[in-house]
Structure 1
Amino acid sequence: MCAGQYLDMVGESEILTESELDDINSRKTGALLIAACRMGVAAAGGSGEMLEAAAHYGACVGAAFQIRDDILDVISTSEELGKPVGSDAQEHKNTYMALLGEERCMEMVENLTNKAKSALCGTFNDTKFLCDLADSMVTRRK
């Protein structure tokens, strides 16, 4: 996560590509969710296949969360979000919204959500909670 934060800070003075944003966010939000998902599987004594599926799920949900966060910073209100909105633009931060726009960002969130749910298929028995959590990335308002 520290490497991701470092890259984020170093990149503040330049316009980043989508690939560079992906790399930074995978090292921050993605790394945190991958670790959490893998720890849950490891604590339950899951197989290597389950660990890999959990990592893929965590990476996809992490990316979807970050992109949705970028969207909400533009389209939400401070009251709804519970924090100031528009700060990314004011601080000239590199975001998916600034680079790609709302429509493309929503497509990405939906695609990542579907990939996250697909990662669970055939590997885990009861996936309802995790699928619902992934689905919430598309609709969350906070």
Structure 2
Amino acid sequence: MLSHLDAVTIIAGDVERTKAFYTDLLGFSVVPPFTSPEGDFVWLRSEERGSSIIVQDVATRADKPTQADIPVASGGLMLGFAVDDAEAAHRTALEGGYEIRTPVVDMGFGRTFGVKDPEGNYLQLFDVYPQVKELQRRLGLG
């Protein structure tokens, strides 16, 4: 059976602030037909591309700034979002008052930083260099 990640559910104490995080910082849009009129359930969608899952060995994550301090008790979960410009996203996150976990660093194939959403979920926002985008395109990944 083939499958793909279709939806990630975030249980939020403050739906509006969490919605704003994903729409303002990451460019997701609200899908009104699938959103509760009462506002207790908001469906967000990215128009860019499908999702990926990355499995990281806990023993080798210490040298990766965005992963090093994620508690194993949290399930070791981190959501990764490709952005056009990691520096610009970092500035937007700072201006939004979101908890920045790491500064922007070069990861060899692009730049990345760590941030938490308003519910404390760990995120890695990253961009990739043009030559990497081309390789992704050739491999059918972007």
- TM-score when scaled to structure 2? 0.25
Structure with greater contact order relative to length (CA < 8 Å, sep ≥ 6): 1
| Structure whose residues are more often helix by fraction | 1
